[in-house]
Structures are given as structure tokens and as C-alpha cells.
Amino acid sequence: MTEEVIKSSRKYRFCIIKAGECIAVVLAFALFLALSSCESYVKAGNMPKVGRKIYLTGGDFSAWRKNTGTWQIVGEAIMNPEDEKMIATRPGSGVMVNGPKGRTLNLFSKAEFGDIKAHIEFMVPLNSNSGVYFMGRYEVQIFDSWGVKKPKYSDCGGIYQRWDKKKRYGYDGYPPRVNASRPPGQWQTYDVIFRAPRFDKNGKKIANARFEKVIHNGIVVQENVELTGPTRASAYEDEKPVGPLCLQADHGPVAYRNIWIIPLGD
């Protein structure tokens, strides 16, 4: 092989290597953009992929919209032994508490959801009050209802009533089937299957939102309850196919942990 052929061959291999490196860089950059788009897709408040478990609690408030008020991330929350109507905390992560005074701004998830399966763990001290608003509109009540013999819609596990502003009266509230509440200061669970309202191509509602099942501490307390519209004190008065999860924080001290959501298919 002549010297010129050898030089030409080396130059050709060098060009192939350089071209391969350029392609690799381009592909890596494209992958970066794709992942960034996926992340911003959830952060922008769009509905995540069906079947994907979305965790809303952890070491920070990255899953929640700003402003988070005086909400705190702590490692442990207990009923304050010196004041049973308040919460005492220990440093760490994994638990969210609505501030040292027990009253602050409601939390709204960045991601928005339609049909979902949700797991929520919560704790309230003596006589305290909170709630979880699905789509920011339909509330499952959280309350210290320990020992209540005939629970109402306003007790823990109840679906809160709607409110007629003109006539000034409440309606369509649903008490839990049974009182499954634990004593104040103990952690409790909700496992919920929620179905969003349906709309036709013109935006007209053709089916109501529905709590297919609400399980409180392992006991079914609500089943196939239709919601004719947003419940009282909801963040929105309209209805849409998707919406954020909202945690009520202005009615009394409350702690939450291990909140996850799985978007469902039809």
C-alpha cells in the first residue's frame, strides 16, 4: 500500500470517528430535551401518564405549586403532649405540616389529574379539621371524629356538602357509612378511587364526577357517590376534565405523609 493510500485511509477513518461522535452528541442532546419536556409536562400541571405512580410527598415541595405559605417538611409529627390541639414535630423529611400555628395556605399539586387512585396518610390533633379536594373541587372531609356515634357529612370520611349562595343553605352532603376514625394524634389513611366528570366535544358535561370508592383505615365508607358539582369552599366553581389535588390548611393543624396517585384509564 502506498504512502498516499495509507494517509487517505487514516483520514477516512478519522472522519468516520468524528461523525460518530457528532451523532452521539446530537442524540444525547435530543434525549436531554425529551426528558426535560417530560419533566416540564408534569410540572406545568398537565395530566401524567396513565398507570404511573406519582409521589407528592418527600424531602421538598417540588410537587406542589407556589406559594406554600408556612407549610413545613419534617421527619415526624405527633399530637403535642403540652397542647393536644396542636402538633409537635421533629426534624427530617417525608412529612408535611401546615406550619407552627396550624393554619396557612392550601396546597395545590402542580400535576393535574382526571380519574385516579389515591393513597393519603394524615394526622389531626384534638378537634382539628382539614380536607382533601380532588381536582380542587370535591372534598373528602378530614376531622377529629373519634367516638362520634352518628357521623355526618362534616365528619371524617364524609363527602362535604355543596352550598347554594343565593338561598344560603347546604345540600348533597354524604356522611360516611360508618365511623372509621382513630383517636386524635394517630395516623390514618384514605384510599380513594375517583372518577372525573365527562364532557362532550362541545364542552358540555355529560356525566358527573364520582367517588367510586373511599376507604378509610381499611373500611369502605363511601361507594359510587355522584357529585352534581363542586363542594363547599372548593377552589373552583366550574368543572373540568382535570384538576389538581388540594390539601386544606386553613381550618386547623394537620400533617400529611406518603401521598401518591396513580392516574387511571376509563
This prediction has a pTM of: 0.81
User: If you average pLDDT over residues 114-140, what whole number do you get?
Assistant: 98
CA distances from 87 to 99, 108, 187, 248 (A): 9, 22, 12, 16
Query: What is residue 41's predicted lDDT score, i.e. its pLDDT?
Result: 36
**Confidence check: pLDDT of 75 > 90:** yes
- The values of phi and psi at residue 36, to 5°, are -60, -40
Same domain, 24 and 139: no
Query: What is residue 266's predicted lDDT score, i.e. its pLDDT?
Result: 65
Nearest in space to 133 (alpha carbons), one of 112, 150, 147, 104: 112
**Confidence check: pLDDT of 15 > 50:** no
User: If you average pLDDT over residues 6-16, what whole number do you get?
Assistant: 46
Q: Which pLDDT tens digit goes with each residue over 37-57?
A: 333 334 444 557 788 899 999
**Confidence check: pLDDT of 253 > 80:** yes
Q: Is residue 49 part of a domain?
A: no
Q: Which domain holds residue 5?
A: 1-44
Same domain, 33 and 121: no
CATH number at residue 241: 2.60.120.560
Q: Which pLDDT tens digit goes with each residue over 160-210?
A: 999 888 888 888 999 999 999 999 999 999 999 999 999 999 999 999 999
Same domain, 20 and 61: no
Q: Is residue 235 part of a domain?
A: yes
Same domain, 96 and 25: no
Same domain, 140 and 13: no
pLDDT confidence tier of residue 19, bands split at 50, 70 and 90: very low
Lowest-pLDDT choice from 42-56, 120-134, 144-158, 237-251: 42-56
Same domain, 32 and 70: no
Same domain, 87 and 40: no
Same domain, 4 and 96: no
pLDDT above 90 as % of the chain: 76
pLDDT confidence tier of residue 24, bands split at 50, 70 and 90: very low
Instruction: Please state the domain count of the chain.
Output: 2
Q: Which pLDDT tens digit goes with each residue over 85-124?
A: 999 999 999 999 999 999 999 999 999 999 999 999 999 9
Query: What is residue 6's predicted lDDT score, i.e. its pLDDT?
Result: 42
Same domain, 62 and 110: yes
In DSSP notation, the chain reads --HHHHHHHHHHHHHHHHHHHHHHHHHHHHHHHHHHHHHHHHHTTPPPPTT--EE--SSSSTTBPSP-TT-EEEEEEEE-TT-TTSEEEEEEEEEEE--TTS--PPEEEEEEESSEEEEEEEE--TT-EEEEEETTTEEEEEE--TT-SS--TTSTTPBPPEEETTTTEEE--B--SS--PPPTTS-EEEEEEEE--EE-TTS-EEE-EEEEEEEETTEEEEEEEEESSPPTT-S-SS--S-EEEEE--SSS--EEEEEEEEE---
| 178: its cell numbers | 360508618
Q: Is residue 115 part of a domain?
A: yes
Same domain, 6 and 134: no
Query: What is residue 47's predicted lDDT score, i.e. its pLDDT?
Result: 58
Query: What is residue 168's predicted lDDT score, i.e. its pLDDT?
Result: 83
Same domain, 32 and 133: no
Q: Is residue 224 part of a domain?
A: yes
pLDDT confidence tier of residue 17, bands split at 50, 70 and 90: very low
Same domain, 31 and 97: no
